[in-house]
Amino acid sequence: MALSRGLRCCQRVFSWIPVLIITSVALWSYYAYVFELCLFTLTNTFEKVAYLLVFHVCFVMFSWTYWRSIFTPAASPCKKFQLSYSDKQRYEMEERPDAQKQILVEIAKKLPIFTRAQSGAIRFCDRCQVLKPDRCHHCSVCETCVLKMDHHCPWVNNCVGFSNYKFFLLFLSYSMLYCVFIAATVFQYFLKFWVGDLPNGPAKFHVLFLMFVALMFFVSLMFLFGYHCWLVAKNRSTLEAFSAPVFVSGPDRNGFNVGIRRNLQQVFGENRRLWFIPVFTSQGNGHYFPLKNRSSESHNPLLANEDMWEESDDGSEEGSLESESN
Protein backbone atom coordinates (compact mmCIF):
# COMPACT_ATOMS: atom_id res chain seq x y z
CA MET A 1 0.00 0.00 0.00
CA ALA A 2 2.77 2.42 0.95
CA LEU A 3 4.74 1.35 -2.14
CA SER A 4 1.86 2.06 -4.53
CA ARG A 5 1.23 5.40 -2.82
CA GLY A 6 4.91 6.27 -3.27
CA LEU A 7 4.80 5.27 -6.95
CA ARG A 8 1.75 7.47 -7.53
CA CYS A 9 3.52 10.36 -5.83
CA CYS A 10 6.57 9.88 -8.07
CA GLN A 11 4.33 9.68 -11.12
CA ARG A 12 2.71 13.00 -10.23
CA VAL A 13 6.12 14.63 -9.79
CA PHE A 14 7.51 13.26 -13.07
CA SER A 15 4.33 14.25 -14.94
CA TRP A 16 5.36 17.90 -14.53
CA ILE A 17 8.65 17.38 -16.40
CA PRO A 18 7.17 18.09 -19.90
CA VAL A 19 5.56 21.29 -18.52
CA LEU A 20 8.90 22.35 -17.03
CA ILE A 21 10.58 21.74 -20.39
CA ILE A 22 8.09 23.94 -22.26
CA THR A 23 8.30 26.60 -19.54
CA SER A 24 12.11 26.57 -19.65
CA VAL A 25 12.17 26.93 -23.44
CA ALA A 26 9.64 29.78 -23.26
CA LEU A 27 11.64 31.63 -20.59
CA TRP A 28 14.87 31.14 -22.52
CA SER A 29 13.22 32.44 -25.71
CA TYR A 30 12.03 35.50 -23.76
CA TYR A 31 15.57 36.24 -22.54
CA ALA A 32 17.15 35.57 -25.94
CA TYR A 33 14.68 37.73 -27.86
CA VAL A 34 14.24 40.63 -25.43
CA PHE A 35 17.79 40.97 -24.13
CA GLU A 36 20.19 39.37 -26.60
CA LEU A 37 18.37 40.46 -29.76
CA CYS A 38 16.38 43.60 -29.00
CA LEU A 39 18.46 45.26 -26.29
CA PHE A 40 22.00 44.12 -27.19
CA THR A 41 21.89 43.64 -30.98
CA LEU A 42 19.31 46.02 -32.51
CA THR A 43 20.44 49.62 -33.02
CA ASN A 44 17.31 51.12 -34.60
CA THR A 45 15.13 52.47 -31.76
CA PHE A 46 11.86 52.33 -33.71
CA GLU A 47 12.51 48.73 -34.77
CA LYS A 48 13.45 47.82 -31.21
CA VAL A 49 10.25 49.30 -29.70
CA ALA A 50 7.99 47.77 -32.38
CA TYR A 51 9.53 44.32 -31.96
CA LEU A 52 9.24 44.47 -28.18
CA LEU A 53 5.59 45.57 -28.23
CA VAL A 54 4.41 42.87 -30.63
CA PHE A 55 6.57 40.23 -28.99
CA HIS A 56 5.10 40.89 -25.54
CA VAL A 57 1.53 40.68 -26.88
CA CYS A 58 2.34 37.27 -28.43
CA PHE A 59 4.16 36.13 -25.30
CA VAL A 60 1.31 37.15 -22.96
CA MET A 61 -1.34 35.38 -25.07
CA PHE A 62 0.87 32.29 -25.38
CA SER A 63 1.46 32.19 -21.60
CA TRP A 64 -2.19 32.91 -20.74
CA THR A 65 -3.58 30.14 -22.95
CA TYR A 66 -0.93 27.69 -21.75
CA TRP A 67 -1.76 28.49 -18.11
CA ARG A 68 -5.50 28.00 -18.74
CA SER A 69 -4.85 24.66 -20.50
CA ILE A 70 -2.80 23.41 -17.55
CA PHE A 71 -4.80 24.65 -14.58
CA THR A 72 -8.40 24.37 -15.79
CA PRO A 73 -9.68 21.22 -14.05
CA ALA A 74 -11.07 18.49 -16.26
CA ALA A 75 -14.87 18.48 -15.91
CA SER A 76 -16.45 15.29 -14.56
CA PRO A 77 -20.07 14.02 -14.74
CA CYS A 78 -22.47 15.61 -12.27
CA LYS A 79 -24.32 13.76 -9.51
CA LYS A 80 -27.25 12.94 -11.77
CA PHE A 81 -25.08 10.39 -13.56
CA GLN A 82 -23.99 8.65 -10.36
CA LEU A 83 -25.88 5.62 -9.13
CA SER A 84 -28.15 6.28 -6.21
CA TYR A 85 -27.62 4.23 -3.06
CA SER A 86 -30.55 1.92 -3.86
CA ASP A 87 -29.53 1.53 -7.52
CA LYS A 88 -25.96 0.79 -6.52
CA GLN A 89 -27.11 -1.89 -4.08
CA ARG A 90 -29.35 -3.42 -6.73
CA TYR A 91 -26.54 -3.40 -9.30
CA GLU A 92 -23.92 -4.90 -6.97
CA MET A 93 -26.21 -7.59 -5.55
CA GLU A 94 -27.25 -8.73 -9.02
CA GLU A 95 -24.89 -11.46 -10.25
CA ARG A 96 -26.33 -11.94 -13.75
CA PRO A 97 -24.61 -9.67 -16.35
CA ASP A 98 -27.79 -9.35 -18.42
CA ALA A 99 -29.76 -8.24 -15.37
CA GLN A 100 -27.06 -5.69 -14.51
CA LYS A 101 -27.27 -4.31 -18.05
CA GLN A 102 -31.04 -4.00 -17.71
CA ILE A 103 -30.68 -2.06 -14.47
CA LEU A 104 -28.37 0.42 -16.23
CA VAL A 105 -30.81 0.70 -19.14
CA GLU A 106 -33.63 1.64 -16.72
CA ILE A 107 -31.47 4.29 -15.03
CA ALA A 108 -30.26 5.68 -18.38
CA LYS A 109 -33.87 6.34 -19.45
CA LYS A 110 -33.86 9.26 -17.01
CA LEU A 111 -30.73 10.76 -18.61
CA PRO A 112 -29.83 12.21 -22.03
CA ILE A 113 -27.60 9.27 -23.00
CA PHE A 114 -27.55 8.12 -26.64
CA THR A 115 -24.17 6.45 -27.08
CA ARG A 116 -23.47 2.84 -26.21
CA ALA A 117 -20.50 0.56 -25.63
CA GLN A 118 -19.25 -1.59 -28.51
CA SER A 119 -21.40 -4.42 -27.13
CA GLY A 120 -24.49 -2.21 -27.25
CA ALA A 121 -24.72 -1.88 -23.46
CA ILE A 122 -25.01 1.37 -21.51
CA ARG A 123 -21.53 2.80 -20.92
CA PHE A 124 -20.77 2.50 -17.21
CA CYS A 125 -17.52 3.27 -15.37
CA ASP A 126 -16.86 0.71 -12.63
CA ARG A 127 -14.09 2.84 -11.09
CA CYS A 128 -16.03 6.12 -10.90
CA GLN A 129 -19.42 4.38 -10.46
CA VAL A 130 -21.12 6.68 -12.98
CA LEU A 131 -23.08 6.23 -16.16
CA LYS A 132 -20.94 7.91 -18.79
CA PRO A 133 -22.57 10.84 -20.58
CA ASP A 134 -22.14 10.97 -24.34
CA ARG A 135 -18.49 11.61 -25.34
CA CYS A 136 -17.30 11.07 -21.75
CA HIS A 137 -14.36 8.71 -21.14
CA HIS A 138 -12.33 7.56 -18.16
CA CYS A 139 -8.75 8.86 -18.01
CA SER A 140 -6.40 6.36 -16.38
CA VAL A 141 -3.83 9.10 -15.71
CA CYS A 142 -6.21 11.57 -14.04
CA GLU A 143 -8.16 8.64 -12.53
CA THR A 144 -11.53 10.20 -13.29
CA CYS A 145 -14.18 10.34 -16.01
CA VAL A 146 -13.76 13.43 -18.21
CA LEU A 147 -16.59 15.13 -20.09
CA LYS A 148 -16.03 15.19 -23.87
CA MET A 149 -12.54 13.85 -23.38
CA ASP A 150 -10.23 14.49 -26.32
CA HIS A 151 -6.93 13.13 -24.99
CA HIS A 152 -4.57 13.35 -22.05
CA CYS A 153 -1.78 15.75 -22.99
CA PRO A 154 1.55 15.34 -21.15
CA TRP A 155 2.69 18.79 -22.35
CA VAL A 156 -0.03 20.45 -20.28
CA ASN A 157 -0.17 17.65 -17.67
CA ASN A 158 -3.93 17.67 -17.93
CA CYS A 159 -6.82 16.04 -19.72
CA VAL A 160 -8.00 18.03 -22.72
CA GLY A 161 -11.77 17.91 -22.70
CA PHE A 162 -14.93 19.98 -22.57
CA SER A 163 -13.75 22.44 -19.92
CA ASN A 164 -10.44 23.38 -21.58
CA TYR A 165 -10.57 22.33 -25.24
CA LYS A 166 -10.98 25.94 -26.37
CA PHE A 167 -7.96 26.93 -24.28
CA PHE A 168 -5.91 24.09 -25.79
CA LEU A 169 -6.78 25.18 -29.35
CA LEU A 170 -5.90 28.79 -28.55
CA PHE A 171 -2.64 27.60 -26.97
CA LEU A 172 -1.72 25.84 -30.22
CA SER A 173 -2.65 28.87 -32.33
CA TYR A 174 -0.82 31.43 -30.18
CA SER A 175 2.20 29.12 -29.94
CA MET A 176 2.34 29.06 -33.75
CA LEU A 177 1.96 32.84 -33.90
CA TYR A 178 4.73 33.22 -31.31
CA CYS A 179 7.06 30.99 -33.35
CA VAL A 180 6.22 32.70 -36.66
CA PHE A 181 6.83 36.17 -35.24
CA ILE A 182 10.18 35.15 -33.73
CA ALA A 183 11.32 33.44 -36.94
CA ALA A 184 10.22 36.34 -39.15
CA THR A 185 11.93 39.05 -37.09
CA VAL A 186 15.06 37.05 -36.27
CA PHE A 187 15.69 35.87 -39.83
CA GLN A 188 17.70 38.86 -41.10
CA TYR A 189 19.92 38.86 -38.02
CA PHE A 190 20.27 35.11 -38.28
CA LEU A 191 21.74 35.63 -41.78
CA LYS A 192 24.00 38.44 -40.62
CA PHE A 193 25.42 36.33 -37.82
CA TRP A 194 25.73 33.35 -40.16
CA VAL A 195 27.78 35.21 -42.79
CA GLY A 196 29.78 37.16 -40.21
CA ASP A 197 28.34 40.66 -40.76
CA LEU A 198 27.75 40.94 -37.00
CA PRO A 199 30.49 40.34 -34.41
CA ASN A 200 30.71 37.06 -32.56
CA GLY A 201 29.38 37.08 -29.01
CA PRO A 202 26.74 35.57 -26.74
CA ALA A 203 23.98 37.06 -28.89
CA LYS A 204 25.06 34.99 -31.92
CA PHE A 205 24.43 31.71 -30.13
CA HIS A 206 20.99 32.81 -28.88
CA VAL A 207 19.86 34.26 -32.24
CA LEU A 208 20.93 31.17 -34.19
CA PHE A 209 19.17 28.82 -31.81
CA LEU A 210 16.07 31.04 -31.65
CA MET A 211 15.67 30.58 -35.38
CA PHE A 212 16.10 26.81 -35.29
CA VAL A 213 13.87 26.28 -32.26
CA ALA A 214 11.10 28.57 -33.59
CA LEU A 215 11.01 26.76 -36.94
CA MET A 216 11.15 23.33 -35.32
CA PHE A 217 8.23 24.06 -32.98
CA PHE A 218 6.25 25.77 -35.73
CA VAL A 219 6.39 22.76 -38.05
CA SER A 220 5.32 20.31 -35.32
CA LEU A 221 2.56 22.65 -34.09
CA MET A 222 1.30 23.27 -37.63
CA PHE A 223 0.43 19.61 -38.16
CA LEU A 224 -1.15 19.24 -34.71
CA PHE A 225 -3.17 22.46 -35.05
CA GLY A 226 -4.33 21.50 -38.54
CA TYR A 227 -5.49 18.11 -37.26
CA HIS A 228 -7.51 19.68 -34.44
CA CYS A 229 -9.05 22.24 -36.83
CA TRP A 230 -10.26 19.28 -38.89
CA LEU A 231 -11.64 17.64 -35.74
CA VAL A 232 -13.54 20.80 -34.76
CA ALA A 233 -14.98 21.14 -38.28
CA LYS A 234 -16.21 17.52 -38.07
CA ASN A 235 -17.22 17.82 -34.38
CA ARG A 236 -15.10 14.86 -33.33
CA SER A 237 -12.69 14.31 -30.49
CA THR A 238 -9.35 12.58 -30.99
CA LEU A 239 -10.81 9.44 -29.37
CA GLU A 240 -13.85 9.54 -31.67
CA ALA A 241 -11.59 9.92 -34.72
CA PHE A 242 -9.90 6.63 -33.82
CA SER A 243 -13.03 4.83 -32.63
CA ALA A 244 -16.43 5.97 -33.88
CA PRO A 245 -19.07 6.58 -31.18
CA VAL A 246 -21.71 3.84 -31.08
CA PHE A 247 -25.39 4.75 -31.08
CA VAL A 248 -28.48 2.57 -30.88
CA SER A 249 -28.44 2.44 -34.68
CA GLY A 250 -24.72 1.53 -34.75
CA PRO A 251 -21.33 3.28 -35.04
CA ASP A 252 -21.33 6.73 -36.66
CA ARG A 253 -18.25 8.98 -36.85
CA ASN A 254 -20.46 11.93 -37.84
CA GLY A 255 -23.07 11.37 -35.15
CA PHE A 256 -22.37 14.75 -33.49
CA ASN A 257 -21.63 16.70 -36.69
CA VAL A 258 -24.28 19.44 -36.91
CA GLY A 259 -22.58 21.65 -39.51
CA ILE A 260 -19.36 23.69 -39.42
CA ARG A 261 -20.95 26.85 -37.99
CA ARG A 262 -22.68 25.05 -35.12
CA ASN A 263 -19.64 22.85 -34.56
CA LEU A 264 -17.47 25.96 -34.10
CA GLN A 265 -20.04 27.52 -31.78
CA GLN A 266 -20.05 24.44 -29.56
CA VAL A 267 -16.33 24.98 -28.87
CA PHE A 268 -15.94 28.77 -29.09
CA GLY A 269 -19.45 30.04 -28.27
CA GLU A 270 -21.73 32.41 -30.15
CA ASN A 271 -19.91 35.66 -29.31
CA ARG A 272 -17.16 35.86 -31.94
CA ARG A 273 -15.43 38.71 -30.11
CA LEU A 274 -14.50 36.21 -27.38
CA TRP A 275 -13.33 33.43 -29.68
CA PHE A 276 -9.66 34.36 -29.43
CA ILE A 277 -9.63 35.19 -25.73
CA PRO A 278 -8.99 32.36 -23.22
CA VAL A 279 -12.25 32.69 -21.30
CA PHE A 280 -14.79 29.87 -21.14
CA THR A 281 -17.47 30.40 -23.82
CA SER A 282 -18.22 26.84 -24.98
CA GLN A 283 -21.88 25.96 -25.35
CA GLY A 284 -23.73 23.61 -23.02
CA ASN A 285 -22.51 21.86 -19.90
CA GLY A 286 -20.68 18.87 -21.39
CA HIS A 287 -23.36 16.31 -20.49
CA TYR A 288 -25.50 16.57 -23.62
CA PHE A 289 -24.63 17.31 -27.27
CA PRO A 290 -27.05 17.74 -30.20
CA LEU A 291 -27.05 14.84 -32.63
CA LYS A 292 -26.83 14.92 -36.40
CA ASN A 293 -29.88 12.65 -36.59
CA ARG A 294 -32.27 14.05 -33.99
CA SER A 295 -34.80 11.25 -34.51
CA SER A 296 -33.10 9.20 -31.79
CA GLU A 297 -33.60 12.07 -29.35
CA SER A 298 -37.36 11.81 -29.72
CA HIS A 299 -37.22 8.43 -27.96
CA ASN A 300 -36.05 10.17 -24.79
CA PRO A 301 -38.95 12.10 -23.21
CA LEU A 302 -36.49 14.02 -21.02
CA LEU A 303 -35.48 16.16 -23.98
CA ALA A 304 -38.92 17.65 -24.21
CA ASN A 305 -37.44 19.83 -21.48
CA GLU A 306 -33.65 19.65 -21.74
CA ASP A 307 -33.15 21.58 -18.50
CA MET A 308 -34.96 19.07 -16.29
CA TRP A 309 -31.96 16.80 -15.73
CA GLU A 310 -29.68 19.74 -14.87
CA GLU A 311 -31.54 20.34 -11.63
CA SER A 312 -30.09 19.05 -8.40
CA ASP A 313 -31.84 16.64 -6.09
CA ASP A 314 -33.24 19.43 -3.93
CA GLY A 315 -34.79 21.16 -6.97
CA SER A 316 -32.27 23.95 -7.27
CA GLU A 317 -30.31 24.27 -10.48
CA GLU A 318 -26.65 23.25 -10.44
CA GLY A 319 -25.62 26.04 -12.79
CA SER A 320 -23.42 26.02 -15.83
CA LEU A 321 -20.38 23.83 -16.28
CA GLU A 322 -18.16 26.86 -16.05
CA SER A 323 -18.93 27.07 -12.36
CA GLU A 324 -18.77 23.28 -11.94
CA SER A 325 -15.37 22.92 -13.58
CA ASN A 326 -13.65 25.85 -11.94
pLDDT of 229 above 50: yes
Model confidence band, residue 167 (pLDDT cutoffs 50, 70, 90): very high
Confidence label for 56 from pLDDT (cuts 50, 70 and 90) = very high
Question: What is the reported pLDDT for 49?
Answer: 96
8: how many CB neighbours lie within 10 A of its CB? 11
- Identify the pLDDT of residue 175: 98
User: What pLDDT score was predicted for residue 2?
Assistant: 61
* 274-326 pLDDT, tens digit each: 999 999 999 999 999 999 876 445 445 455 444 444 433 333 333 333 333 33
Pairing between strand 151-153 and 158-160?
A: antiparallel
Q: Indicate whether 271 pLDDT > 90.
A: yes
Cα(133)–Cα(118) distance, integer angstroms:
15
Q: Sorting pLDDT into bands at 50, 70 and 90, what band is 182?
A: very high
Stretch 49-71: mean pLDDT: 97
DSSP for residue 128: T
Q: How far is CA 208 from CA 62, 176, 179, 204, 213, in A?
A: 22, 19, 14, 6, 9
**70-74, 118-122, 133-137, 291-295: range with lowest mean pLDDT:** 291-295
- Cβ atoms of residues 74 and 163 within 8 Å: yes
Reduced to 3 states (helix: H, G, I; strand: E, B; else coil), residue 115 is strand
For residue 94, what pLDDT is reported? 84
As annotated, the active-site residues are: 153
The mean per-residue pLDDT over the stretch 116-125 comes to: 92
pLDDT at residue 216 in the model:
96
Nearby residues of 57 by Cβ (< 8 Å), 6 or more positions away: none
Residue 100: pLDDT band by 50, 70, 90 thresholds? confident
How far apart are the two ends of the chain, measured CA to CA in Å? 32
151 close to 168: Cβ distance less than 8 angstroms: no
Is the pLDDT at 217 greater than 80? The verdict is yes
Query: What does 39-73 look like in DSSP terms, one character per residue?
Result: ITT---HHHHHHHHHHHHHHHHHHHHHHHHHHHSP
Q: Which helix (H) or strand (E) holds 91?
A: helix 85-93
Residue 286: the pLDDT is: 95
Return the percentage of the chain with pLDDT > 90, whole number.
69
Reported as a single tens digit per residue, the pLDDT across 33-44 is: 999 999 988 889
Contact 282, 255 (CB under 8 A): no
pLDDT band at 132 (very low <50, low <70, confident <90, very high): very high
Q: Would the pLDDT of 59 be above 80?
A: yes
Residue 82 near residue 130 (C-beta atoms within 8 A): yes
